[in-house]
Amino acid sequence: MMQTTITIILLSLIGFIAGLLIFLASKFLPKEDESLGETVRIKEFLPGADCGACGHPGCFAYAQAVTKDKQVFAKTPCPTLAQDKEGMKKLETYLGLKSEAKIGKKAVVHCTGQSETLADYRGIETCKAASQLASGFKECPYACLGLGDCVAVCPTGAISINPERKVAVVDWETCIGCGLCVEACSQGLTELVPANMPQYLGCNYQAARDIPGRKRCPDGCIHCKICVKVSQNGEVTWDETKDLPHFDPEKCLPAHAAIEKCPRQIIKKTATYKEPSAISISAVSKSKPLR
């Protein structure tokens, strides 16, 4: 009987002390940071993809930065949320300010996948591993290997591998321009361009870094520079270091004439390409449809 009483008393005593300690801790510790609740509320508006496109390590860190200084949102709005106009509006009204209308970025892949396969690759199924062996198993040392390193890192599933030509294709509808694929591509083929860029080059063959015995595919740039010659407004310039045409991301001018004249037809139109008015160049209408 004595034993039971002692046990009960001791147990309730310890329970009481533990409860008291928690009570004292919650009462006398400094109050929870006011900003924490606010941060959680702001995070509700964010997409939660933790892609890091805003430059902060994840959505929570971005919400913290916005809580501290609302101007962070005005200057660098969440690039993922910027794709979703309604969600953007909700956060804007919540914060009571307008973000600077920024043109988002989108990824392009500078390859059309026409290069022949040189060797049968059997190894670790990543581009990074395959590219270690003689710049990949394609005839062109700059070709997309199609093993999908970019697909694996894409937070929105915007990149897919074309099953016929084994080349990565970006869907601009779902691409949020986070740039993770740019880091993932071992061949350096993906690039971020402004969302209003009307065209990109479907090749990355650099004559300056020619590798003996390897050659460009039938879709490869032959460095004829005709695209530069036919562009009147300077929409196409020549990138001397890469030895490839360059489209100024600041201007984003449509290069109708260059698209038409390119002998290899590798200046590809993007989703934001607009056909020129009928008077300026009627020949464009005859151009091949984009693959």
Partner 1 sequence: MSNLLAIFLGMALVNNMVLVKFLGLCPFFGVSKKLSSAFSMGIAVLLVMLVASGVTWPVYHLLLAPYGVEFMRTVIFILVIASLVQIIEMAIKRTNLTLYNAFGIYLPLITTNCAVLGITFINIDQTYSFLESLTAALGAGAGFTLVLIIMSGIRERLGLADPPKAFKGTPIAFITAMLLGLSFLAFNGMV
Residue 211 in the binding site for partner 1 (CB under 8 A): no
259 burial via Cβ count (<10 Å: 0-12, 13-18, 19+): buried
Position among 52, 60, 118, 222 found at the interface with partner 1 (CB under 8 A): 60
Residue 209 CB, shortest distance to partner 1, in Å, is 28
Residue 208 in the binding site for partner 1 (CB under 8 A): no
Q: Where are the beta strands (DSSP E) in the chain?
A: 105-109, 159-162, 167-170, 190-194, 199-201, 236-239, 244-247, 267-269
Contact 272, 253 (CB under 8 A): no
Residue 1 in the binding site for partner 1 (CB under 8 A): no
Position among 97, 124, 208, 290 found at the interface with partner 1 (CB under 8 A): 124
Cβ-Cβ contacts under 8 Å for 55 (sequence gap 6 or more): 76
Residue 269 CB, shortest distance to partner 1, in Å, is 37
Residue 29 CB, shortest distance to partner 1, in Å, is 5
The candidate with the shortest Cα–Cα distance to 171, out of 188, 187, 150, 185, is 150
Q: How far apart are CA 223 and CA 219, in angstroms?
A: 12
Residue 106 CB, shortest distance to partner 1, in Å, is 28
Residue 7 CB, shortest distance to partner 1, in Å, is 5
CA 84 to chain centre: 16
Binding-residue pattern over the window 220 to 259 for partner 1, x denoting contact by CB under 8 A: ----------------------------------------
Cβ-Cβ contacts under 8 Å for 32 (sequence gap 6 or more): none
Provide the token pair at 95: 């914060």
| Exposure on the CB side of residue 53, measured as CA atoms within 13 A | 29
Q: How far apart are CA 287 and CA 51, in angstroms?
A: 38
Contact 166, 143 (CB under 8 A): no
Residue 133 in the binding site for partner 1 (CB under 8 A): no
Position among 1, 25, 278, 279 found at the interface with partner 1 (CB under 8 A): 25
Stretch that binds partner 1, among 47-55, 105-113, 118-126, 160-168 (CB under 8 A): 118-126
Residue 48 in the binding site for partner 1 (CB under 8 A): no
Residue 32 CB, shortest distance to partner 1, in Å, is 5
What is the total count of residues that contact partner 1 (CB under 8 A)?
A: 25
217, amino acid identity: C
62, amino acid identity: Y
Stretch that binds partner 1, among 32-40, 43-51, 226-234, 235-243 (CB under 8 A): 32-40
Residue 220 CB, shortest distance to partner 1, in Å, is 31
Q: How far apart are CA 204 and CA 209, in angstroms?
A: 11
Which residue number, 19 or 234, has a Cβ lying nearer to partner 1? 19
Residue 3 in the binding site for partner 1 (CB under 8 A): yes
Q: How far apart are CA 128 and CA 268, in angstroms?
A: 26
| Exposure on the CB side of residue 283, measured as CA atoms within 13 A | 6
Position among 49, 95, 118, 129 found at the interface with partner 1 (CB under 8 A): 129
Residue 40 in the binding site for partner 1 (CB under 8 A): no
Which residue ranges make up the site for partner 1 (CB under 8 A)?
3, 6-7, 10-11, 14-15, 18-19, 21-22, 25-26, 29-33, 36, 60, 64, 124-126, 129
